Structure formats: C-alpha cells, structure tokens
Chain A
C-alpha cells in the first residue's frame, strides 16, 4: 500500500511538503517515484519522475526528493493554480508491480 496524506492546506506563497510512503519498505530511489497533478475534470499531468527529475512543463516551485524514508513533493511559493489532487506512483520492480498512492488534495487558502 502506498500512503499519502488525504488532504493538506497551504497558504498562498507558502511552502508545503507532500509525502509518499510504502507500507512494505522504506521508499528509495529504486522506487523511481513519480508525482502527478490532477485538476477537476482534467487528465493527470506528470510533474516529477525518477524521484526528482522534472519535465519541461514542471514549474520550478515543485521539487521531488526522498525525506525520512518517504518520497516527498515540496511546493515552494504556492499559487492558487496549484490547488489540485496530487498522486505519487511507485515502482515495485521486484514484483513487476507499479502502484499509485491514494492521492492528496491540496488546498491553497
């Protein structure tokens, strides 16, 4: 099971860290963690892959890392448009299985 905070609130301009844990093991770079953003009525958009790598469209204020045995997505300088659901996605390559976390609803308020 991949665990995420169900909901988190951040103030505009503030900093927040979302985490992604695994019930079976410490999350490491071998889980190749992805972070996705999904806004209501839209398809997901992948922001981060391989723990910390960004795409050309990933805003600089998003950073992926490993933190305290979990994967983490840090948003520095939250904007109203960052309000969305965020999902992490972990690889369990030893069992040929890939699993999404349950998602975190981020509110910018």
Chain B
C-alpha cells in the first residue's frame, strides 16, 4: 500500500547543478501537487496539476519546472539550483480538484544546495 512515493529521500547539490525530484502515486488520483516546507514559512505550493495533461503555477514557482508524465507521475525539476532552494519538498495527491477531500503526502525529499 505505497500511496505517494518520492525519490530521492535526500540530496545534496552544488549551486548551479540541476536535478529532478520524482513523485508517483498509486491511488488513481487526478490531482497532484508539489510543496516546499521551510522553518517559519510552513508549506507553500510550488506547482500543481489539477488533472493529467495540465500544470499550473502555485505560490512560489520561480526556479522550478514540472512535468505531469502520466496520471501516476508528477516530477519537479530544478534547472539551476540555488541555496535559497534548500528545503524539504513534498509531493501530494488528491482524488480530483474539488474541495472536501484530503491530500495524501509522500515522505518528502530533503534537498541541500551548497
């Protein structure tokens, strides 16, 4: 019963390097989300995909790109990593775009940019 799976769990990058965070869900959910969590800032939405084939910017999209590869997978890419992107990244999914349904979260990716 995997739910939402994120890889990798930890990563250290140098400034300017690129990488892709992977997320996959096995709940047949239509909507998927990427958040970052920082001390004192709470969880902030980076990008979301309301349904397969669509992606939209959230509150803090600068420096990131996403790809909704198929219904199961939603990846987050850092093209040129910056120290300000050091954070814990969470992927989440929910049944669809409507309200009154919970989002289900992965265990997170802890990313450090040196």
A binds B: no
Q: A residues within 8 Å of B by Cβ?
A: none
